[in-house]
C-alpha cells in the first residue's frame, strides 16, 4: 500500500494557501473598511492567475464554456439580479419567468411532454439528492415503506450516497459489467418490496458512458418504482450529439419508466456555476419534494426543495445562457467536443500499454493500463505525473485505477488533441522507464480500496476539508 510522506501531506495542505505570503490574512473584520480598489486589485490578481491553467485548454472538465466574453455578458445579467432572493416572488416575479422557461426548455430538449415539470437547484448534488427524498416519501405514502432501498450503479455519482446517508435510505451498489455499464441482471435480482427507485447515469462521471436506461426503465415499470437518470454531466450535451447523427443510447423521458432526470445548466448548458435542472415526469411526483409549513409564527412557509434563499442572479444568467447559445450554439459545441473526444480516444488506443474504458465514449474518454502492474503493466499515475508536468490536469479514477479526459469547449482549440497525443505517448514511455517507482499523483488512490487504507484516506480527506475552512497561521 502506498504511503504519503510528511512532505507530501504538507505540500497538499500548503496548496490551499498559495497567497498567505503575498496578501494580508484576515482573522478579524478590519477596523476600517478597505478601499474597493485594493480589494479589486487582489481579486484581479487571484482570478487572472487561477484562470491561466484553464485558459490553456488542458483541463479535463471543470471549465465547460471558456469564453470570457460570454462570461462577461452572463456576469452583467447576474449583476441585475445579484441582490434578488427568488424566495420573495412578490418582489421578483421575473424569477417565475426565468425558472419556468428554463424548466420548459430543458424538458423539451430531454423528451418531456406537457406533463413534465421541474425545479431549479443549486447544482448536480442537490439535483441528485432531492429525488432520492422524493422516492423515499412516495414509497412511504403509497406503499407504506418504512425501510426504503435504492439501487444505483457502482459508477453513479457519490451525491446519491450522500443523499442516502442524510435521508436514512439503504443504498445497494450494483456492480458493473466488463463494458463499465451497470449489471442489469444484478439489479433485477436485488429488487425487493422495499425498493423505491433505481438510478442510471447518462453519462457516468468516471467513464462518461450511458447505462442501459431502457432495460432499467422496464424494471421500474414492472415493479412500479422510480427511475432517476443522472444527466447532470451529459444531459445538456448528449441530446445535441445525437442530433448530429452520432449513435447515443436512449436515456431521457422518451424511455418508458424514466420518472425523473437531472441536467446541469452550469456544465454543458454553459451557464454560471450554481444552477441545475431537476425534472419529473409529472407534478404529482414533484410534490413529494415540496416543503410547506403553515403553522410557523413567521408566516406561511413554502420551499420547493432543500434550498431556502436562492440567487436571482444565477437563475437569470442561466436563462440568458440558454437563449444566447441557442440550438445552433449547442450543436456547434457538441460537434467540436465529439470530434475532439474521438481524437483523444484514438490517441489512447494508439498506445498498446493503455486501454479505453467502455465502448464508444462520445465526450469523456476514460482509460487505464492495458494490463495489471503484476503482469507487466504500467502505473497509470506515473503517466499522469508526466502529463501534469506538461500542464495537463486529468481527472483520476480508481477501482480500477485510471484517468479520464472530459472534453469541454476549451479543449476543442486547434491542435490541442494532437498535443495531448504526443504528451500521452511520452507519459507512457516515462511510466515504463520508471516502473516500480511511486507516482506523486497516485499516492492517495494507492491507499484506497482496503478498510485500513480507507481509514487513512478518510482521515486525510477530512483534514483537507478542515484546511479549506482554516486561516493559516503566520
Average pLDDT over residues 79-87: 92
Is residue 28 scored above 80 in pLDDT? yes
Share the mean pLDDT of the chain.
Answer: 92
Q: pLDDT at residue 167 above 70?
A: yes
Locate CATH 3.40.640.10 in the chain: 85-310
Say whether domain 85-310 belongs to CATH 3.30.70.920: no
| Parts of the chain belonging to CATH 3.90.1150.10 | 1-21+56-67+326-474
Would you say residue 103 has pLDDT above 60?
yes
- d(C-alpha 149, C-alpha 65), whole Å: 38
- Convert the pLDDT of each residue in 49-82 to its tens digit: 999 999 999 999 999 999 999 999 999 999 999 9
Task: List the single range of 2-6, 10-14, 265-269, 403-407 with lowest mean pLDDT.
Answer: 2-6
What pLDDT, on a 0 to 100 scale, did the predictor assign at position 1?
A: 38
pLDDT mean over 36-58: 94
List residues bridging with 303 in a β-sheet.
291
pLDDT score recorded for residue 61: 95
Is residue 290 within 8 Å of residue 302, measured between CB atoms? yes
Which are the contacts of 369, defined by CB distance < 8 A and separation ≥ 6? 353, 354, 355, 377, 378, 379, 380, 401
Cell numbers placing 215: 432495460
Query: What is the C-alpha separation between 100 and 315, in angstroms, rounded?
Result: 11
pLDDT at 459: 58
Indicate the pLDDT class of residue 456, thresholds 50, 70 and 90.
low
Whether the predicted pLDDT of 405 surpasses 70: yes
| Cα–Cα nearest to 117, from 309, 272, 284, 276 | 284
The pLDDT score that the predictor gives to residue 12 is: 66
- Residue 95 above 80 pLDDT? yes
CA distance 365 to 351: 14
User: Can you tell me the distance from the alpha carbon of 148 to that of 187, in angstroms, rounded to the nearest whole number?
Assistant: 15
As a whole number, mean pLDDT of residues 269-288 equals 97
Residues 6+ apart with CB under 8 A from 158: none
The contacts of residue 159 (CB under 8 Å, 6+ apart) are 124, 125, 128, 129
What is the pairing mode between strands 149-153 and 117-121? unpaired
pLDDT number for residue 30: 93
Query: Which tens digits make up the pLDDT trace of 306-315?
Result: 888 889 999 9
Read off the pLDDT of each residue in 449-473 and give the average, rounded to a whole number: 58
Question: What's the pLDDT score for residue 233?
Answer: 97
On whether the 1-21+56-67+326-474 domain is CATH 3.90.1150.10, my answer is: yes
The residue-averaged pLDDT of 12-33 equals 84
Arithmetic mean of pLDDT, 195-211: 97
- Say what the pTM is: 0.91
Using CA atoms, how far apart are residues 9 and 14, in angstroms rounded to an integer? 9
Q: Which one has a higher pLDDT value, 86 or 126?
A: 126
pLDDT, mean of residues 397-409: 95
Sign of the CA dihedral 84, 88, 91, 93?
Answer: positive
As given in the structure block, the three cell numbers for residue 288 are 413529494
Bridge-partner residues for 176, per DSSP? 182
For the cut 50, the answer to whether the pLDDT of residue 2 exceeds it is no
What is the pLDDT, as a whole number, of residue 446?
A: 47
Each residue's pLDDT tens digit, 374-387:
888 999 999 999 99
Please determine, for residue 444, whether its predicted confidence score (pLDDT) is greater than 90.
Answer: no
How many other C-beta atoms can be found within 10 angstroms of the C-beta atom of residue 238?
Answer: 27
Amino acid at each position: 500500500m502506498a504511503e504519503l510522506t510528511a512532505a507530501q501531506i504538507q505540500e497538499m495542505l500548503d496548496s490551499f494557501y498559495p497567497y498567505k505570503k503575498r496578501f494580508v490574512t484576515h482573522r478579524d473584520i478590519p477596523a476600517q473598511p478597505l478601499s474597493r480598489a485594493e480589494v479589486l486589485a487582489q481579486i484581479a490578481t487571484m482570478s487572472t492567475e487561477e484562470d491561466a491553467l484553464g485558459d490553456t485548454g488542458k483541463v479535463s472538465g471543470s471549465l465547460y464554456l471558456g469564453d470570457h466574453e460570454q462570461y462577461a455578458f452572463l456576469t452583467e445579467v447576474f449583476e441585475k439580479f445579484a441582490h434578488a432572493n427568488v424566495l420573495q416572488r412578490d418582489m421578483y416575479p421575473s424569477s417565475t419567468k426565468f425558472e419556468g422557461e428554463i424548466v420548459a426548455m430543458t424538458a423539451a430538449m430531454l423528451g418531456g411532454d406537457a406533463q413534465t415539470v421541474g425545479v431549479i437547484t443549486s447544482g448536480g448534488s442537490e439535483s441528485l439528492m432531492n429525488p432520492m427524498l422524493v422516492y423515499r416519501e412516495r414509497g412511504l405514502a403509497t406503499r407504506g415503506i418504512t425501510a426504503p432501498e435504492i439501487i444505483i450503479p457502482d459508477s453513479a455519482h457519490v451525491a446519491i450516497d450522500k443523499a442516502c446517508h442524510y435521508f436514512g435510505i439503504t443504498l445497494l451498489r450494483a456492480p458493473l459489467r466488463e463494458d463499465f455499464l451497470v449489471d442489469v441482471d444484478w439489479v433485477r435480482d436485488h429488487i425487493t418490496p422495499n425498493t423505491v427507485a433505481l438510478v442510471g447515469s447518462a453519462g457516468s462521471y468516471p467513464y462518461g458512458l450511458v447505462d442501459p436506461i431502457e432495460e432499467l426503465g422496464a424494471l421500474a415499470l414492472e415493479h412500479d418504482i422510480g427511475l432517476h437518470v443522472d444527466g447532470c454531466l451529459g444531459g445538456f450535451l448528449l441530446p445535441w450529439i445525437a442530433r448530429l447523427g452520432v449513435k447515443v443510447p436512449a436515456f431521457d423521458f422518451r424511455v418508458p419508466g424514466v420518472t425523473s432526470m437531472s441536467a446541469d445548466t452550469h456544465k454543458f448548458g454553459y451557464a454560471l456555476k450554481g444552477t441545475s435542472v431537476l425534472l419529473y415526469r409529472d407534478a404529482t411526483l414533484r410534490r413529494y419534494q415540496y416543503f410547506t409549513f403553515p403553522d410557523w409564527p413567521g408566516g406561511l412557509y413554502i420551499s420547493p426543495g432543500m434550498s431556502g434563499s436562492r440567487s436571482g442572479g444565477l437563475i437569470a444568467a442561466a436563462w440568458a445562457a440558454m437563449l444566447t447559445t441557442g440550438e445552433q450554439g449547442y450543436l456547434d459545441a457538441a460537434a467540436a467536443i465529439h470530434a475532439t473526444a474521438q481524437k483523444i480516444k484514438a490517441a489512447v488506443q494508439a498506445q498498446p500499454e493503455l486501454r479505453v474504458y467502455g465502448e464508444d465514449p462520445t465526450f469523456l474518454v476514460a482509460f487505464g493500463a492495458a494490463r495489471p502492474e503484476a503482469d507487466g503493466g504500467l502505473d497509470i499515475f506515473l503517466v499522469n505525473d508526466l502529463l501534469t508536468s506538461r500542464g495537463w490536469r486529468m481527472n483520476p479514477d480508481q477501482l480500477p485505477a485510471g484517468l479520464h479526459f472530459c472534453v469541454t469547449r476549451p479543449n476543442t482549440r486547434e491542435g490541442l488533441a494532437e498535443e495531448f497525443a504526443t504528451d500521452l505517448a511520452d507519459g507512457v514511455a516515462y511510466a515504463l522507464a520508471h516502473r516500480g517507482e511511486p507516482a506523486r499523483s497516485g499516492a492517495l488512490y494507492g491507499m484506497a480500496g482496503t478498510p485500513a487504507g480507507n481509514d487513512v484516506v478518510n482521515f486525510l480527506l477530512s483534514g483537507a476539508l478542515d484546511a479549506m475552512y482554516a486561516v493559516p497561521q503566520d
